[in-house]
Structure 1
Amino acid sequence: MKPHHGGASGQTTPSPYQLQTNTTTFGPGDHIQVTLSGTSYFEGFLLQARDATQTQSESAIGTFTLTNPTRTQLLTCNKQQGSAVSQTSDARQTEVVVIWTAPQNAPTEVQFFVTVVAHYKKFWLKVPGPIIYQHGVTPHPHPTTTTRPPVKPTTPSILPGPFTSVGCGQFKSCLLDPPGCDPEEDPHCFFMSMSTEGADKTSVIFELSGPAEGYVSFALSWDTWMGNDDVYLCVKDGDRVSVSAGFVSGRTYPEDQSQSGLSSVSWRLADGSIQCRFSRPVKLTNREQARFDLDQDYFLFLASGHAEYGEIRKHGRQPLISSNSKRITGPPEVLKGSRSPTIMKMHGALMLLAWMLTGSIGTFIASFYKPDWPNQTLFGQKVHRGLMTLTVTLTVVAFCLPFFYRKGWSKHAGVHPYLGCCVLILSLIQPIAAMHRPPPDSDRRFIFN
């Protein structure tokens, strides 16, 4: 009964939704009204009836009849048609009423279970409902209804105030964008800090801040490439913030998101910024093998983007990547980073040099100074030809650099790669056309002109 929604886990807080039946006893063939209701809206659900005498049973029992076919639908579970009910769309609702029909071979005790989805990654898994008994059966306590163990609350607390860059390089390491900004004063400041906790330094406190457009996150990476990274997210979910850890195996959505291994979680959503703080042990148990040990050197990634109902979207900007790898438990320092790798900066610089300098100057000289400098040469050729040859060379080199960086085509870069291909093709056509230029007195010269 678990929805596979982005690797999310079910909520551990008490469910705001409940099941009710119009009777506590039944007989084979009886029709029982089952009502799912809540104090807040929900977008999805899955309702089943199961044998209460078999605690490990996963087989659905009986069949349902719909009272609102436009909002609900029957499902086939365990090869039994109509043995479960679910929603037809993600339209929000607060109540669902269905009719359950007891089978002829019904067990003596039947319990209803429901999984309710408030929105995508926020759901309560297999919430136990009422137990109904066949006529003449004496009710007795059930662990799932009367002695449920208390759950450990995981709701983060609210931070008393904003973070500050004071102390960066002194007792905590910081990564800032733009450099020197202060998250206490500037809501557009991207800020991450880390400091060891306690005299034995067995845990690290992380602080994360950025614009409240949706989420901010950071990752620990062995290299400057996204993939096989340990990720930590601070995500806006309505008027609250969820804090979780995950793992990125490639350029994909984070996997296995949970608060496992995190403690002392707190957050703040105010003044146009989103901030969160949490503590994490330097070394984790075997249950969290995907998490990295913090006594190693890693490159730091800092990314942000939009979120909807607590579901993150692809970041619109290149992540801020630390210039050097950093030992998380190492001495405090102010880290430097960049959103553009050196190879991509070279790509932009060479294109700018080619088309704002050498290409423009070469065209200008050919148009106005050709008669004045008939014998001037550049790279063994006339000035105009030399500049144009240099322009084509710079363009070819600049065109290849993104392919070396991406190791392939940039699928999500919009129209820019296609414009780059057009620029390269046109720049190659120009010298080819020049090679076939006829003499000035030729009858075909007007075609070239």
Structure 2
Amino acid sequence: MIGPVSLQSISNVGCGSTKLCFSQPTNCDPSTSSNCFFMSARLLTPPESGVQYELSGPAQGYVAFGWSDDQMMGQDDIYLCGLNSTGAVDVQRAFSVGHTAPTVQPKGAISDIQTSNQNGVLACTFTSKNAIFTSSNFSFTSNQLFYLLLAYGPSSNGIIMKHQNDYSSSQRMALTSSAVVQRDGKQQMIRAHGCLMLLAWMTLCPVGMMVARYLRRSSQVQMFGKDLWFVIHVSVMSFTVATTIIAFILAFSYLGGWEYFNNGIHPVLGCLVLCLALIQPILALMRCAPQHP
């Protein structure tokens, strides 16, 4: 049965002692902060009674958490607290395959659902006896370790859309443990990767090409014995290559190797771009000087 629940009933009280908690910002309290994304899991007594979940956060469509074998989306057991097709808040269960939209699953053994939508903050509490399903089925009473994922985003007529932001835990945790889960700082690496690639190919590279195209015949100013336009062009394009290499290293380090190379077209294009970026300066070094016969 769905009924209203006061936001004050969801808080970080008991985190680390009686329940497992994961939040963004770390250690925020949803009972006092409207900008807190929060989930908790508490194994009831006796354990066969199930797990009590709490989930809340400011979102336009949904807040979700998932149990995962890794820190990436794919093969994850997900619970969502979001707006359904009628605009009411409800709990959904879903399973993700790759980076496509999660597939909504039957709720299964979920009970005691309570929901709230106050001032744009969605909140849900519920009890689940469902096994955790990732690459295999695991009982909720087992000590199997999982990464925790937390995300939020918009929805349209009850259909969840791509999340606006997501967070993962820094280490695997057992559902039966009582701890405050720390957020994985490595996610900043992938954001830095994106920023550096945008800088390289949306700013530095176009500037380098325009300098070579439009200034090579209009400037006779010399620097270090070379035309000024040429010095600027070489410098900017060198920074483009260096920035691309750094961005590639960040992404490679974040993923931990080649495991996700076949996960979509993006990593394939990234490797192709890196190869072409490295080939260009090599060809430039082999090019004859302008005064060469």
Task: Report the Cα distance in structure 2 between the residues aligned to 1:218 and 1:201, rounded to whole angstroms.
Answer: 22
Task: Report the Cα distance in structure 2 between the residues aligned to 1:329 and 1:430, rounded to whole angstroms.
Answer: 55
Q: How does 1:82-161 map to 2 (within 5 A)?
A: 155-161=1-7
In structure 2, the residue matched to 1:241 is 89
CA contact (8 A) 2:108 2:130 kept: no
Task: Report the Cα distance in structure 1 between the residues aligned to 2:102 and 2:155, rounded to whole angstroms.
Answer: 14
Task: Report the Cα distance in structure 2 between the residues aligned to 1:437 and 1:409, rounded to whole angstroms.
Answer: 41
In structure 1, the residue matched to 2:118 is 270
Structure 1 residues 342 and 214, CA gap change in structure 2 (3 angstroms)? closer
Gaps of 5+ in 2: 206-220, 226-233, 253-257
In structure 1, the residue matched to 2:98 is 250
Q: Which has the higher helix share?
A: 2
Find out whether 1:399 has 2:248 as its counterpart: yes
In structure 2, the residue matched to 1:307 is 155
CA contact (8 A) 1:228 1:248 kept: yes
Give the alignment's TM-score, normalised by structure 1: 0.47
Q: 2:181 aligns with which of 332, 335, 340?
A: 335
The structural deviation recorded for 1:293 is 1.8
Task: Report the Cα distance in structure 2 between the residues aligned to 1:336 and 1:174, rounded to whole angstroms.
Answer: 9
* Total equivalences in the alignment: 259
In structure 2, the residue matched to 1:429 is 280
Structure 1 residues 436 and 348, CA gap change in structure 2 (3 angstroms)? same
Structure 1 residues 261 and 402, CA gap change in structure 2 (3 angstroms)? same
In structure 2, the residue matched to 1:42 is none
Aligned residue for 1:337, secondary structure, equals coil
1:271-324 CA-to-partner distances (Å, cap 9, x unmatched) read 22101011123759xxxx98642222111111221112211112233x211111
Task: Report the Cα distance in structure 2 between the residues aligned to 1:422 and 1:283, rounded to whole angstroms.
Answer: 43
Task: Report the Cα distance in structure 2 between the residues aligned to 1:226 and 1:269, rounded to whole angstroms.
Answer: 27
Aligned residue for 1:158, secondary structure, equals coil
Task: Report the Cα distance in structure 2 between the residues aligned to 1:429 and 1:400, rounded to whole angstroms.
Answer: 19
The structural deviation recorded for 1:174 is 1.1
The structural deviation recorded for 1:423 is 8.4
In structure 1, the residue matched to 2:31 is 184
In structure 2, the residue matched to 1:73 is none
Q: 1:344 aligns with which of 184, 190, 194?
A: 190
CA RMSD of aligned residues (A): 4.3
Aligned residue for 1:338, secondary structure, equals coil
Q: Which has the higher strand share?
A: 1
Task: Report the Cα distance in structure 2 between the residues aligned to 1:177 and 1:186, rounded to whole angstroms.
Answer: 11
Task: Report the Cα distance in structure 2 between the residues aligned to 1:388 and 1:254, rounded to whole angstroms.
Answer: 41
In structure 2, the residue matched to 1:195 is 42
Gaps of 5+ in 1: 1-154, 360-366, 372-384, 445-449
**Structure whose CA Rg is larger:** 1
CA contact (8 A) 1:233 1:243 kept: yes
* Aligned residues with identical type, % of pairs: 31
1:395 alignment partner AA: T
Higher relative contact order by CA 8 Å / sep ≥ 6: 1 or 2? 2
1:399 alignment partner AA: F
Task: Report the Cα distance in structure 2 between the residues aligned to 1:322 and 1:297, rounded to whole angstroms.
Answer: 12
